[in-house]
A = this chain, B = another copy of it.
């Protein structure tokens, strides 16, 4: 808990009750993939009173502070990943679940040069999975 407080301070965020609560859920146990709604539900279940708007704001603040990474998986819902290192994902289309693909196991080759004046910030690879009906 103290370490969450510290983590927030280091990131330049005031350790308010809500942030500490959400941070504990997010960073308390290994890598997680959450949507705003999932996190909100968890917070309520844990007895923390937070509004959904605050969850959204907090997720974005954490993302800007580099504590989270936002994932674009599905056209109409944002996911956030507590693992900010450079890694990629399996997405199981049937149940909407996400699995990490370990850092470094994927290599992307043959990238064309980006247009003039632009540089690559980050490459996202999403491997979409469906049932293997065999």
Chain A residues with CB under 8 Å of chain B are 70-79, 90, 92-93, 99, 101-102, 105-112, 114-115, 117-132
Contacts and interface: CB of A to CB of B under 8 A. Distances in A.
Contact of A110 (B71, B106, B119, B131): B106
15 contacts: A71-B75, A72-B73, A76-B77, A90-B115, A90-B118, A106-B108, A107-B109, A107-B110, A108-B109, A114-B127, A114-B129, A117-B132, A120-B128, A122-B128, A126-B126
B132 A128 contact: no
* Count of chain copies: 2
A119 B129 contact: yes
Contacts of A73: 72
A129 B71 CA distance: 15
A119 B130 contact: yes
Nearest to A74: B72
A125 B99 contact: no
A79 B5 CA distance: 38
Contacts of A93: 121
A123 B122 contact: no
Given A75-B72, A76-B76, A76-B78, A127 B111 contact: yes
Contacts of A74: 72
